[in-house]
Amino acid sequence: MLLSASRVVTARKSGGLIRRSCAAWIMVACALSLAASEIHETSPLYTRIVQPVVIPAEVSSLGLFVSVLINGQGPFRMLVDTGCTCSMISPEVAAAVEARGVDTGDESDQALNGFGDAIALPRVLLDSITVGGVQFEGVMAGVVPLEVQSKIDSRELDGLLGYTLFSDLYFALDYPGRKLILSQDWPLNLQPVRAELAVKEHSDVPFVSVTLQREVFSVMVDTGASNRLHLQSQATASLDWKVAPRPGMLIAVAGEMGREQVGRLSGFLELGAVKQFEPVVDVGGGSADIGTGLLHSFCLVFHESEDKMWLCSADSGPLLSPPVRTIGLSMIADTGGWRVAGVIPNSPAEEASIRKDDLVTEIEGRPSQGWTRDELQAWMDTHEEVTLKVATATVEREVHLRVWSLVP
């Protein structure tokens, strides 16, 4: 599978948080948390909106993306990421819009990536970010390289719109409707509310309570992560598993890659009034969170001043938790195809002697660049075999891989 979407950055005066994401070929975590002792306010100085605005969005397993202007320039493709406190832009975008650096008095701003490791995170002040006619003025943003995230779905990612950017508004991420809605009042024409959840802000990102096997867990709502439910390893010791955790996809965070475990719990996940039987869970480091893999069938509505979040949907049934089907590859886009970044142990890919750095040039007889991560996952969900053409430094061969239930 390809890399997956990201865990984003959080920042605030008292510190910051991290988040993760997982996807079809690789799971990627962009999340960073600021570690500096004094963090400037991350909400915009002014929010200018005249009437409710509906912004068309690109939606994939990696999240919800919108087109924005920064300092009047663009457009730039950015991910709406509630797991990130402050908005983030790439160094290339910062240079293009002539963003002004912020002097914090430290030699470098420090942040923590999705594995809890420290990295440098410069900050800039943006005159404005404009989203669908809504203008946010005086926006503090972090500057972080996003090359890996761009390679995950072979499309440029210019930045992340963090949770506090929308602090003055109701904002709705309508995944089924493929749109972002910004309004001063409750948005009109939404699907029925399935659940109303109290939000607790930790480092200016939203946390809600979920119940698993009668235990209550506090989890981040991270729309920049493509995973389902992610829990810290130490928090799962008392839980009963239907399928015990086993090595899963790679996770890419700022500065490094690692591998998490994935399994299936017994019993129910309860998210307010919404239930999911025998949920699939990713287990590793970083903050516990729920991502778009769990939330993609809803319209999510947030209102920071009320400390509430709503799940809206026309479907009143329980959430599905299908098997995790894969051929065992984590891949990123590269010249000429998809480059293998890692292989799941004991998977069909390992059995076929596919190795890290091999290049997948064809999938089902078509150039692999023509396949998106979502298209490949849809193929694996509906077929029992995938035919690849795999090239090494010396030879190219055709490989027939069975589709494997990593988590039945």
Region 261-279: mean pLDDT is 96
Show the tokens assigned to 223: 């729309």
Q: How far is CA 313 from CA 175, 180, 183, 188, 348, in A?
A: 10, 15, 19, 14, 37
Domain 324-407 is classified in which CATH homologous superfamily? PDZ domain (2.30.42.10)
pLDDT digits (tens, 9 = 90+) for 195-212: 999 999 777 899 999 999
Helix and strand tally (H, E) in the chain?
A: 5, 37
**Is pLDDT of 229 > 90?**
yes
CATH of 27-183, one of 2.40.70.10, 3.40.50.12780, 3.20.20.70, 2.60.120.620: 2.40.70.10
pLDDT digits (tens, 9 = 90+) for 158-177: 999 999 999 999 999 999 99
| Structural contact between residues 287 and 165, judged by C-beta atoms closer than 8 angstroms | no
- CATH numeric code, 193-298+308-312: 2.40.70.10
- Would the CATH topology of 27-183 be identical to that of 193-298+308-312? yes
Q: Look-up: residue for tokens 């920071």?
A: 304
| Virtual torsion, Cα 45, 124, 142, 160, nearest 10 deg | 60
pLDDT digits (tens, 9 = 90+) for 125-170: 999 999 999 999 999 999 988 888 888 878 899 999 999 999 999 9
**HSE toward the beta carbon, residue 340, CA cutoff 13 A:** 23
Domain residue ranges of the chain, discontinuous segments joined by +:
27-183, 193-298+308-312, 324-407
DSSP labels, 263-326: EEESSEEEETTEEEES-EEEEESS--EE-HHHHTTSEEEEEGGGTEEEEE-S--SPBP---EEE
